Amino acid sequence: MSIGAGIGLSTYPFSSTDGFWAWVQMCEEGGVDSIWQTDTLVSKEPMLECMTTMAALAGATKKLKFGMNVASVALRDPLVLAKQCATIDVLSNGRLLPAFGIGSTHSADWRTTGRPTQRRGKRTDESLEIISALWRGETVSMDGEFFQYDGVRIAPLPAQKELPLWIGGSSEAAIRRTVKYGTGWQASFENPATAGETVAAIKRGMIDAGRDFEDDHFGTGINFRFGNWDDDVVVRAAERYERVGGRNARESFAVGGARDVLDKVRAFVDEGLPKFILRPLAADDADTLRQTKLMIDEIQPEIRAMNQALKDAEAAVATA
């Protein structure tokens, strides 16, 4: 098992495009593993669209991987989504990390567009069936409840022979979806203990289904800030998190210094979630760059040390 931390954006905190690309360059040069973009179409706050952001990152970077956390499949056409992902993966030489979910019923994307939330789980399942088959190079015909295709296929196929397909959500349906289609799972609105319960449920389901994926393909997002709980940006984020997610922000956020962030990372690792999207809680361009620089300088070296300790422990067991 290896521990890894990427960095993510929910809102768009930059006052200019130059600020965004300065941040991306900092991540690229700082050795950040991956960048993740939250998917929200309708919002009062500025937020980038996730698929076009992935395409832009593909052209602007050489080493960074990138993913969407998570793209709401039921709001998109699966043929278009599969083709977009394959294209971005090809043009980035295999650096796309797709992550899909059903989308929250609290999202304005549903409420403001008149789209029914009923049966969106079934719509997502049909979509994932189509996307998976298209990525494998199959010709897809389907006469489904939501999609009717007659001999569709895509080319070129993704550069990655097996393009990852991470699933988000913790409901029983999301667990079943992960077991059937997923190659990884991303927690949402969960503290370490509840996320660990979902990990265990997925692993039990995998055994029953005769499937498996790597132990390090379980992850979560952590809102972090080098600062204080009474910082305005933390107060606003915590209030929204607790209102929408119904969870205690102090159980999931990491606020304080490097030790506080690492303690939260270790708590999730202990529950079987070694992959992280660290989301800086920041007020503006300069603050976002500062928070990211602190993550690069103070968190990444510690994560590398944790990985080395894991390797040393495995080597000691192997030679015992």
Cα–Cα distance for residue pair 254/252, rounded to 1 Å = 7
What CATH number is attached to the domain comprising 127? 3.20.20.30
3-state secondary structure the chain: CCCEEEEEECCCCCCCHHHHHHHHHHHHHCCCCEEEECCCCCCCCCCCCHHHHHHHHHHHCCCCEEEECCEEHHHCCHHHHHHHHHHHHHHCCCCEECEEECCCCCCHHHHCCCCCCCCHHHHHHHHHHHHHHHHCCCCEEEECCCCEEEEECCCCCCCCCCCCCEEECCCHHHHHHHHHHCCEEECCCCCHHHHHHHHHHHHHHHHHHCCCCCCCCEEEEEEEEECCCCCHHHHHHHHHHHHHHCCCHHHHCEEECHHHHHHHHHHHHHCCCCEEEEEECCCCHHHHHHHHHHHHHHHHHHHHHHHHHHHHHHHHHHHC
Tokens representing 315 are 């080597």
Report strand pairing: 184-186 vs 166-168: parallel
Predicted local confidence at residue 107, as pLDDT: 77
Q: Output phi, psi for 53, to 5 deg.
A: -65, -40
**Count of domains observed in the chain:** 1
105 burial (CB, 10 Å; 0-12 / 13-18 / 19+) is exposed
Predicted local confidence at residue 211, as pLDDT: 93
Residues of the chain with pLDDT under 50: none
Predicted local confidence at residue 108, as pLDDT: 82
Predicted local confidence at residue 303, as pLDDT: 95
The per-residue pLDDT for range 82-106, each reduced to its tens digit, is: 999 999 999 999 999 999 988 766 6
Residue 65 CA neighbour count, 13 Å, CB half: 16
The per-residue pLDDT for range 148-182, each reduced to its tens digit, is: 999 999 999 999 998 999 999 888 999 999 999 99
Please give the model's pTM, rounded to 2 decimal places.
0.91
Predicted local confidence at residue 14, as pLDDT: 94
With beta carbons less than 8 A apart as the criterion, state whether 15 and 46 touch.
Answer: no
For residue 37, what are the domain limits?
A: 4-319
Predicted local confidence at residue 106, as pLDDT: 67
